[in-house]
A and B are shown apart, each in its own frame.
Chain A
Amino acid sequence: MAVTDILARLRAADQDPAVRLPGEVGIWIFILGDMAVFGLFFTVFVYERDDHPDLFEASRDTLNITLGTLNTLLLLTGSLFVVRGLNAVKDGRSRVARRWLAGAIVTGLAFAVDKVVEYADQAQAGHGISTNHFYMYFYMYTAIHLTHLAIGVCALIYMRGLAGRPELTVRHVRNLENGASYWHMVDLLWIVLFALLYLMG
């Protein structure tokens, strides 16, 4: 089916009151496209890992699983905060919404700090992007993800600003939903990255 047909179907579906698209069609095209790209990343990684299982296992052994786990817990909690923030906006409780979104921003920043600590540890151990293919994928994928996260934190700051407005338009609510959907994508991509890079043995 052509993208234009999909767009038309999605738009038509959104007019049915029982069916609700969270955010706009555009953000979902982007999210699904990004998920498709990461799906390829995951496949390439698993394929190559099975070519060099011992090398990949020895390299994985040097990762700090506790820091990786902490980051997963942070993003899951941040996602919950964003849902609560969005629900609070829709209920007209803007102060509560701003507090939830501030909490989500803190989880995002904490994730970045954790990641930088991890990169520093790896660098100190002499593991760089060109050390071997495991580290190449590790740095490349986590850095691409970290870029997504940085954009997400900016979106959350913008959303927190919107949530504080006395009057919200349909456009504003759409933007809040777009930002929330994007943030959850950052969360779900990390869930899989964490499993493949840190846990796959």
Chain B
Amino acid sequence: MSARWDRLTAVWGTLMAATLASWAIGTQHGHDHDVRRLATVGVIIVAFAKVHLVGRHFMDLRGAPVLLKIAFTGWVVGVPATLVTIHLLRS
């Protein structure tokens, strides 16, 4: 099939693999405080990296107007930055 098909399959495969990896990490029960803090930061970053892939490849924002790209990227970067900051300062 076309390159478009291959790209979408690769993106989907990456998203599925990242989800299964999160599941494997999420079902582990580490009780060390620092490990848990870091794992949470990792979980948040992976989630928003997945959102970025969905936006770019499934929502087709690659060729979208620049203002929309800025707004979407602002969310994909700003929200996790806020969450990680709150978590690291307060946990």
Residues of A within 8 A of B (CB): 6, 9-10, 13-14, 18-22, 28, 32, 35-36, 39, 42-43, 46-47, 50-51, 53, 65-66, 69, 72-73, 76-77, 79-80, 82-84, 87, 180-181, 184-185, 187-188, 191-192, 194-196, 198-201
Asked if residues B66 and A195 are in contact (CB atoms below 8 Å), the reply is no
Query: Complex formed: what's the CA distance from A180 to B58 in Å?
Result: 9
Asked if residues A39 and B79 are in contact (CB atoms below 8 Å), the reply is yes
By a CB distance below 8 angstroms, the chain A residues around B51 are: 188, 191-192
Asked if residues A10 and B65 are in contact (CB atoms below 8 Å), the reply is yes
By a CB distance below 8 angstroms, the chain B residues around A73 are: 16, 19-20
Dominant SS at the B interface? helix
- Shortest beta-carbon distance, A180 to chain B, in Å? 8
27 A-B residue contacts at CB 8 Å?
Answer: A13-B65, A18-B63, A19-B64, A19-B66, A21-B64, A22-B60, A22-B64, A32-B72, A36-B75, A39-B75, A43-B83, A43-B86, A46-B83, A50-B86, A50-B90, A51-B90, A53-B91, A69-B26, A73-B19, A184-B55, A184-B59, A192-B51, A196-B44, A196-B83, A198-B26, A201-B30, A201-B36
Q: Which residue of A lies closest to B12 (CB)?
A: A80
- Shortest beta-carbon distance, A36 to chain B, in Å? 7
Q: Which residue of B lies closest to A76 (CB)?
A: B15
Q: Which residues 16-48 of B sit at the A interface, judged by CB distance below 8 A? A: 16, 19-20, 22-23, 25-27, 29-30, 36, 39-40, 43-44, 46-48
Q: Mark B69-91, 1 if CB is under 8 A from A, else 0.
A: 00110010011001100110011
